Structure 1
Amino acid sequence: MSLTRIHNLSISLDGFATGEPQSKEAPFGHAGERLHEWMFATRFWKKTGGTVGADHAFAERHEPGIGAEIMGANKFGPPGWQDDPDWKGWWGPNPPFHTPTFVLTHRPRPPIEMAGGTTFHFLDASPAEALQAAREAAGGQDVRIGGGATVVRDFVAAGLVDNMHLVQVPIVLGRGVRVWDGLEALEQGYDIEVVSTPSGVTHLTFMRKRG
């Protein structure tokens, strides 16, 4: 069976994956882009130039072997996007997913086919139901849980995540949406590896224990 994976989810020292308030002008709220500066410096992001050390090596694991993605409503758009029939996400006509992408929302709409192989499907579904739909669309490849923090937390709490890569960034946000809430004793179900890099971030890799 295909794996369920999370990659490059950046969190603050106090566990927030986004700040507040989220808006069209500030997708990550008061956090701005501070959580992602480590990635912007890598060759994975820049394509030409950029660093090729450990940060790049972790970041580029985001793409190989992925056949479908699941994301939450707040990753697809700012508050109120459901009222805008023309909203097609933050990413322009050719989104970076290039796979079937399932958006969890209580207000589904017809699928949107984009350039580059991305088709957005809108589901009002539980994590298990959404994962089943994504696996059927993934053609035997893995499914990526793309975020945001609430969706990641829900899938982890439901026991549906096989591999998870989080990046702890040395900033304190104080408010926003935390990943860890409700996940007490998470470490008991995963083997965890920790790698710190010269950029100042710490890569946390969680691999589900087998047997």
Structure 2
Amino acid sequence: MTQLRVSCFSISLDGFAAGPEQSLENPMGLNGMEIHDWVFPTATFQQRVLGTQGGETGTDDDFVVRGFENVGAWILGRNMFGPVRGPWQNEEWKGWWGDSPPFHTPVFVLTRHARDPIEMAGGTTFYFVTEGIHAALTHAREAANGMDVRLGGGVATLQQYLRGQLVDELHLATTPVLLGAGERLFADIDMRALGYQCVERSATDRATHVVIQRRR
């Protein structure tokens, strides 16, 4: 059965998943990139995202590998695609990820403003969904063809899917960083009441990994 999964989602010790003042220069907000320091050295990130060889193996890398396994489609909030708000003023913008994004699957971007699909190198095609989170999930499940759907963020998008009890599994990497401000993932969300529980945990020098699943 197709599951909706969140993988390798980094948060700070004080619960922020992005810093304040997000912009083109600071897509994760001020100091926000620090919470991802655990993933950058991994062999999978080096190879899949940067296109280089080398990198570290071990527990952190194992979680990155798991995040890409059996994924047939992605869902992203608009801010994960780019910093533009409102109607599309510049359709030359094709996302944060360069000419060959690391998804290699169909990617469904939540937005209020329609836009034609964008086919990228490496098998990624961005589709823009204006009908809301349930429509995006339906499209993604159809495109995944029996594989799982990975929900990439950002924070507001994850919160909508969590409140709707639509996320089957959530992998969080809590990093030893204090952001002080930004976007809190669990603001006004009672995960216990929504039926979620921790089923796995593992700590490394760079992050504490927990896997949370929804009880059925």
TM-score bracket, normalised by the shorter chain, equals over 0.9
What is the alpha-carbon root mean square deviation over aligned residues?
1.5
Q: Distance in 2 between matches of 1:104 and 1:24?
A: 19
C-alpha deviations, 1:59-107, integer Å up to 9, x for none?
1111111111000011100134832111100111111111110000111
Q: Secondary structure of the equivalent of 1:182?
A: coil
Question: Between Structure 1 and Structure 2, how many residues are aligned?
Answer: 209
Which residue identity lines up with residue 59 of structure 1 in the other structure?
Answer: V
2:110 is matched with 104
Aligned residue in 2 for 1:167: 173
CA distance in 2, matches of 1:97, 1:103: 13
Offset at residue 187 of structure 1 (A) = 6.8
> Is 2:136 the counterpart of 1:114?
no
- Contact 2:32–2:179, Cα closer than 8 Å, also in 1: no
1:196 equivalent to 2:203? Answer yes
Which TM-score applies when normalising by structure 1? 0.93
Structure 2 residue 59 is matched with structure 1 residue 54 = yes
1:62-101 aligned within 5 A: 62-80=67-85, 82-101=88-107
User: Structure 2: how far apart are the matches of 1:206 and 1:185?
Assistant: 10
Give yes or no for contact 1:157–1:182 (8 Å, CA) kept in 2: no
The 8 Å contact of residues 23 and 79 in structure 1, kept in 2 or not, is answered as: no
**Separation in structure 1 between the aligned mates of residue 152 and residue 33 of structure 2, nearest angstrom:** 17
Structure 2 counterpart SS, 1:40: coil
Q: Percent same amino acid at aligned positions?
A: 45
Question: Does the aligned pair in 1 maintain the 2:35–2:175 contact within 8 Å?
Answer: yes
**Unaligned 5+ residue runs, structure 1?**
none
Q: TM-score, with normalisation over the residues of structure 2?
A: 0.91
User: How far is the alpha carbon of 1:50 from its aligned partner?
Assistant: 2.3
Unaligned runs of 5+ in 2: 48-52
Question: Per-residue deviation at 1:142?
Answer: 0.5
Opposite residue 205 of structure 2, the aligned amino acid is P
CA contact (8 A) 1:22 1:79 kept: no
Separation in 2 of the partners of 1:188 and 1:136? 26
Instruction: Return the alpha-carbon distance in structure 2 between the equivalents of residues 187 and 62 of structure 1.
Output: 26
1:138 paired with 2:144, answer yes
Kept in 1: contact 2:108–2:129 (CA 8 A): yes
Match of 2:50 in 1: none
- Residues 113 and 130, structure 2, Cα contact 8 Å, conserved in 1: yes
Of 187-196 and 128-137, deviating more is 187-196
Deviation of 1:32 after TM superposition, in Å, equals: 4.0
Task: Report the structure, 1 or 2, having the larger helix content.
Answer: 1
